[in-house]
Structure 1
Amino acid sequence: MVTERKHDRAFVRTFFTTPTAVDEDDTAKMLRRAIDLRGMEAPDVWVPDNEDATAPSMRDEGVENIIEVVSKDGADFPSEIHPRVVWHRDSPSTRYQGFQQMLEIADPENGAVEYIDGFVIPEVGGIDDWKKADEFFTIVENEHGLEEGSLKMSVIVESGQAELAMGKLREEMGKPENNLERLFMLVDGEVDYTKDMRAITPTGKLPPWAELRHNTSRGASAAGLIAVDGPYDDIRDVEGYHERMTENQAKGMLGIWSLTPGQVVEANKAPLPPEEGSWLLEVGPKQVELDEEDGTYRYSGSRLSLEETDGGYILRVGGDEYELDEGELEEELLDRAEYVPSMNDIVDSMEEFEAAKEAGRGAIAMERAATLVIDGIEVDIQNDRMWDEATYQAAMTPITLFQDVYENRPDQHEDLAEMYSEDVVERAMEVGN
Structure 2
Amino acid sequence: MTASDSPPATQPQPLRPRRSCLAVPGSNPRFLEKAKGLPADQVFLDLEDACAPLAKPGARKNIVAALNEGGWGDKLRVVRVNDLTTHWTYRDVIEVVEGAGANLDAIMLPKVQSAAQVQWLDVMLTQIEKTVGLPVGRIGIEAQLENARGLLAIDEIAQASPRIQTLIFGPADFMASINMRSLVVGEQPPGYDVGDAYHHILMSILMAARAHDLQAIDGPYLQIRDVEGFRRVAGRSAALGFDGKWVLHPGQIDAANEIFAPSQDDYDHAELILDAYDYYTSEAGGLKGSAMIGDEMIDEASRKMALVIAAKGRAAGMSRTSAFTPPQS
TM-score (norm. length: structure 1): 0.64
- Number of aligned pairs? 305
How far does residue 64 in structure 1 lie from its aligned partner after superposition? Answer: 0.9
| Aligned 8 A contact 1:153 1:184 in 2 | yes
Paired residue for 1:364?
291
Paired residue for 2:312?
401
How far does residue 166 in structure 1 lie from its aligned partner after superposition? Answer: 1.4
- Could you say if the C-alpha distance between residues 67 and 343 of structure 1 is closer, same or farther in structure 2, counting changes exceeding 3 Å? same
Distance, in Å, in 2 between the alignment partners of 1:128 and 1:113 is 23
Distance, in Å, in 1 between the alignment partners of 2:304 and 2:12 is 21
Corresponding residue to 1:183 among 148, 152, 164 = 164
User: Could you list the per-position Cα deviations for residues 337-385 of structure 1 after superposition, in whole angstroms to 9, with x for gaps in the alignment?
Assistant: xxxx443333334333332222122212334xxxxxxxxxxxxxxxx33
- Could you say if the C-alpha distance between residues 8 and 405 of structure 1 is closer, same or farther in structure 2, counting changes exceeding 3 Å? farther
How far does residue 6 in structure 1 lie from its aligned partner after superposition? Answer: 5.7
How far does residue 99 in structure 1 lie from its aligned partner after superposition? Answer: 1.4
Q: Based on CA coordinates, which of the two structures has the bigger radius of gyration?
A: 1
- Could you say if the C-alpha distance between residues 364 and 272 of structure 1 is closer, same or farther in structure 2, counting changes exceeding 3 Å? same
Paired residue for 2:193?
none
Paired residue for 1:81?
77
Q: As a proportion of its length, which structure holds more strand?
A: 1
| Aligned 8 A contact 1:9 1:404 in 2 | no
Distance, in Å, in 1 between the alignment partners of 2:262 and 2:30 is 35
How far does residue 201 in structure 1 lie from its aligned partner after superposition? Answer: 4.1
User: Could you list the per-position Cα deviations for residues 56-79 of structure 1 after superposition, in whole angstroms to 9, with x for gaps in the alignment?
Assistant: 2211111111111111125x5221
Corresponding residue to 2:175 among 194, 198, 205 = 194
1:305-316 matched pairs, under 5 angstroms: none
User: Could you list the per-position Cα deviations for residues 164-201 of structure 1 after superposition, in whole angstroms to 9, with x for gaps in the alignment?
Assistant: 2212246x54xxxxxx1111111110100111112224
| Aligned 8 A contact 1:233 1:259 in 2 | yes
Distance, in Å, in 2 between the alignment partners of 1:14 and 1:77 is 15
Distance, in Å, in 1 between the alignment partners of 2:290 and 2:104 is 46
| Aligned 8 A contact 1:10 1:226 in 2 | no
2:278 corresponds to 1:354: yes
One-letter amino acid of the structure 1 residue matched with residue 74 of structure 2: P
1:5-404 matched pairs, under 5 angstroms: 7-9=13-15, 11-22=17-28, 28-37=29-38, 41=39, 43-74=40-71, 76-88=72-84, 91=85, 94=86, 96-107=87-98, 110=99, 112-169=100-157, 173=160, 180-201=161-182, 207=189, 208-275=197-264, 341-358=265-282, 359=285, 360-367=287-294, 384-404=295-315
How far does residue 7 in structure 1 lie from its aligned partner after superposition? Answer: 4.0
Q: Helix, strand or coil: the match of 2:240?
A: coil
One-letter amino acid of the structure 2 residue matched with residue 51 of structure 1: E
Distance, in Å, in 2 between the alignment partners of 1:150 and 1:181 is 10
Paired residue for 2:194?
none
How far does residue 206 in structure 1 lie from its aligned partner after superposition? Answer: 5.7
Q: Helix, strand or coil: the match of 1:82?
A: strand
Q: Helix, strand or coil: the match of 2:180?
A: coil
Q: Helix, strand or coil: the match of 1:394?
A: helix
- Could you say if the C-alpha distance between residues 206 and 193 of structure 1 is closer, same or farther in structure 2, counting changes exceeding 3 Å? farther
One-letter amino acid of the structure 1 residue matched with residue 53 of structure 2: P
Distance, in Å, in 1 between the alignment partners of 2:174 and 2:188 is 10
Q: Helix, strand or coil: the match of 1:250?
A: helix
- Could you say if the C-alpha distance between residues 388 and 212 of structure 1 is closer, same or farther in structure 2, counting changes exceeding 3 Å? same
How far does residue 252 in structure 1 lie from its aligned partner after superposition? Answer: 2.1
| Aligned 8 A contact 1:6 1:224 in 2 | no
| Aligned 8 A contact 1:87 1:124 in 2 | yes
- Could you say if the C-alpha distance between residues 236 and 342 of structure 1 is closer, same or farther in structure 2, counting changes exceeding 3 Å? same
- Could you say if the C-alpha distance between residues 202 and 60 of structure 1 is closer, same or farther in structure 2, counting changes exceeding 3 Å? closer
In structure 2, list runs of 5 or more residues that go unmatched: 5-10, 190-196, 325-329
TM-score (norm. length: structure 2): 0.83
| Aligned 8 A contact 1:84 1:120 in 2 | yes
One-letter amino acid of the structure 2 residue matched with residue 346 of structure 1: A
One-letter amino acid of the structure 2 residue matched with residue 67 of structure 1: V
How far does residue 113 in structure 1 lie from its aligned partner after superposition? Answer: 2.2
User: Could you list the per-position Cα deviations for residues 207-257 of structure 1 after superposition, in whole angstroms to 9, with x for gaps in the alignment?
Assistant: 541111111111111122111001012223333323333322332212111
- Could you say if the C-alpha distance between residues 167 and 361 of structure 1 is closer, same or farther in structure 2, counting changes exceeding 3 Å? same
Distance, in Å, in 2 between the alignment partners of 1:134 and 1:50 is 19
Distance, in Å, in 2 between the alignment partners of 1:183 and 1:218 is 15
